[in-house]
């Protein structure tokens, strides 16, 4: 009998940098939980020349820098292949997060060597679960393109956003991923930004997942995926009593760039004009004032300050007023690597 692979918390690595670059906000889909908010993020598609200038602002060839190209749907950008190639030449490790449609023949315009990971989003193990969330016909197109990408030799990963609409079906994902040949599995938690902040889903189901349900389902499914040879990453969400709280805004370097030039350090803040930086005339400028970075050093019993301010419904309290769980930084991850990796 083999021992179950163990989950470990991925501590923030000193010097690690992650650049999440939204090239555009347009998308061919209208997912029910979409967090894109054009009023706050802009509606432009950045021209190639601007993208290259902005990439240079964040490039640090001497340090490991992960670049995640996002939208909207990034493959709608007509110059995505050129962006990927330029980013590689600046020594970024490049991932593209796609909804699976792969417009502009992306797989024929780049090689697996030029792209570290091609990541697909799927929110159910079959069309019956996925398509009511992401759109009619999406499951078939997305899984078809995952198979094509794997057959052409691309490293693929898959993001599953867990909500009250699909958590009961998460346990069927590991077998599907193994069948598709996906190598990395990101389990995400629904955030109360964009659509989920504005609307509750129809009927009795809530978007949010209760702590007990998250803790009883997600680690178990992650371990099962790892048993099938898949590298699994999922958010910590709730800190164990002995764990130290750390805010990524202080101990890590993450940049979330939007087409209107806003640059956030914390994704929870993205619906509000409290970004720490902005890009103006191709220069990265720090913004003075009461912005997100003024909140990062605050210490509260609940853990993450922004979660307390923006998503207070996520926190339960004991009768004495102490929080039942401390909420970790939303960027703190757990991972399970399969034994062979
Ligand atoms: S694919 Fe992404 S950007 Fe497009 S609607 Fe869905 S969540 Fe929003
Ligand atoms: S989610 Fe909370 S802990 Fe993480 S960067 Fe934002 S404010 Fe800091």
Whether the CB of 268 sits within 6 Å of ligand 2: yes
Q: What is the pLDDT of residue 286?
A: 98
Q: Which helix (H) or strand (E) covers residue 143, if one does? A: helix 138-151
Ramachandran area for residue 7 (φ above 0: left; ψ -120 to 50: alpha; else beta) = beta
What is the pLDDT averaged over residues 225-254?
93
Q: What is the pLDDT of residue 5?
A: 63
For residue 265, name the pLDDT band (cuts at 50, 70, 90). Answer: very high
- Whether the CA torsion 84, 157, 213, 235 is positive or negative: it is negative
Q: Which ligand 1 atom is the nearest neighbour of the CA of 33?
A: 7
Q: pLDDT at residue 66 above 50?
A: yes
Lowest pLDDT segment from 113-122, 186-195, 206-215:
186-195
User: What would the 3-class secondary structure string for 82-112 be?
Assistant: HHHHHHHHCCCEEEEEECCCCCCCHHHHCCH
CA 327 – ligand 2 centroid, Å: 10
First to last CA, the chain: 19
User: How much of the chain, in percent, has pLDDT values that exceed 70?
Assistant: 92
Nearest C-alpha neighbor of 46 from the set 87, 85, 88, 76:
76
On whether residue 306 sits in a domain, the answer given is: no
For residue 193, name the pLDDT band (cuts at 50, 70, 90). Answer: very low
pLDDT tens profile 11-37: 777 667 999 999 999 999 999 889 889
Whether the CB of 296 sits within 6 Å of ligand 2: yes
pLDDT tens profile 79-130: 999 999 999 999 999 999 999 999 999 999 999 999 999 999 999 999 999 9
Whether the CB of 249 sits within 6 Å of ligand 2: yes
Phi, psi of 247 (to 5 degrees): -95, 125
Closest residue by Cα to atom 7, ligand 1, is: 34
Highest mean pLDDT among 144-148, 247-251, 331-335: 144-148
With a Cβ cut-off of 6 Å, ligand 1 is lined by: 27, 29-31, 34, 36, 71-73, 99
For residue 242, name the pLDDT band (cuts at 50, 70, 90). Answer: confident
Whether the CB of 255 sits within 6 Å of ligand 2: no
Q: pLDDT at residue 152 above 90?
A: yes
**Burial of 187 (C-beta count, 10 Å sphere; 0-12/13-18/19+):** buried
On whether residue 98 sits in a domain, the answer given is: yes
The CATH number covering residue 43 comes to: 3.20.20.70
On whether residue 261 sits in a domain, the answer given is: no
User: How much of the chain, in percent, has pLDDT values that exceed 90?
Assistant: 76
pLDDT tens profile 38-59: 999 999 999 999 999 999 999 9
**How far apart (Å, rounded) are the C-alpha atoms in residues 24 and 28?**
12
The residue ranges of DSSP E strands in 117-271, in sequence order, are 117-121, 156-162, 184-189, 231-235, 238-239, 253-257, 262-264
Which is more confident, 286 or 6? Answer: 286
CA 300 – ligand 2 centroid, Å: 12
On whether residue 46 sits in a domain, the answer given is: yes
Q: What is the pLDDT of residue 117?
A: 97
- SS3 label, residue 295: helix
What count of Cα atoms within 13 Å lies in the side-chain half-sphere of residue 158?
A: 30
Q: What is the pLDDT of residue 150?
A: 98
On whether residue 301 sits in a domain, the answer given is: no
Question: Which of 20, 71, 99, 130 is the best mutation target for the ligand 1 pocket, counting ligand atoms within 8 Å of the beta carbon and taking the most?
Answer: 99
Q: What is the mean pLDDT of the chain?
A: 91
Whether the CB of 160 sits within 6 Å of ligand 2: no
On whether residue 1 sits in a domain, the answer given is: no
On whether residue 281 sits in a domain, the answer given is: no
Number of domains in the chain: 1
326 alpha carbon, closest ligand = 2
Q: What is the pLDDT of residue 340?
A: 55
CA 269 – ligand 2 centroid, Å: 9
Q: pLDDT at residue 296 above 50?
A: yes
Q: What is the pLDDT of residue 10?
A: 75
Lowest pLDDT segment from 18-22, 207-211, 281-285:
207-211
On whether residue 50 sits in a domain, the answer given is: yes
Segments forming the whole domain that contains residue 156: 8-244+327-336
121 alpha carbon, closest ligand = 1
Q: What is the pLDDT of residue 238?
A: 87
What is the pLDDT averaged over residues 158-163?
96
What is the pLDDT averaged over residues 302-330?
89
């Amino acid at each position: 009998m083999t021992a179950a692979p163990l989950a470990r918390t991925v501590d923030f690595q000193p010097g690690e940098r992650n650049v999440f670059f939204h090239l555009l906000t347009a998308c061919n889909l209208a997912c029910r939980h979409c967090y894109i908010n054009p009023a706050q993020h802009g509606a432009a598609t950045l021209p190639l020349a601007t993208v290259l200038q902005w990439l240079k602002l964040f490039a640090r060839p001497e340090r490991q820098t992960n670049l995640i190209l996002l939208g909207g749907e990034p493959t709608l950008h007509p110059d995505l292949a050129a962006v990927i190639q330029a980013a590689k030449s600046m020594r970024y490790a490049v991932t593209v997060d796609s909804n699976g449609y792969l417009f502009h023949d992306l797989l024929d315009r780049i090689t697996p060597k030029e792209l570290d990971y091609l990541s697909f989003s799927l929110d159910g193990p079959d069309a019956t679960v996925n398509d009511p969330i992401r759109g009619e016909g999406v499951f078939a197109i997305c899984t078809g393109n995952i198979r094509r990408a794997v057959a052409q030799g691309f490293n693929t990963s898959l993001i599953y956003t867990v909500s009250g609409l699909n958590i009961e079906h998460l346990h069927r994902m590991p077998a599907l991923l193994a069948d598709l040949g996906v190598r990395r599995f990101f389990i995400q938690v629904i955030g109360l930004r964009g659509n989920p902040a504005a609307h509750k889903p129809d009927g009795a189901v809530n978007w949010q997942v209760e702590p007990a349900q998250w803790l009883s389902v997600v680690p178990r499914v992650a371990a099962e995926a790892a048993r099938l040879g898949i590298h699994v990453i999922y958010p910590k969400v709730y800190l164990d009593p002995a764990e130290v709280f750390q805010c990524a805004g202080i101990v890590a370097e993450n940049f979330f760039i939007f087409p209107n030039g806003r640059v956030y350090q914390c994704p929870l803040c993205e619906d509000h004009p409290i970004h720490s930086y902005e890009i103006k005339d191709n220069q990265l400028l720090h913004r003075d004032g009461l912005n997100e970075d003024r909140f990062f050093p605050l210490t509260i019993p609940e853990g993450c300050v922004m979660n307390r301010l923006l998503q207070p419904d996520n926190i339960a309290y004991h009768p004495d007023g102490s929080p039942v769980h401390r909420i970790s930084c939303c960027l703190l991850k757990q991972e399970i690597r399969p034994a062979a990796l």
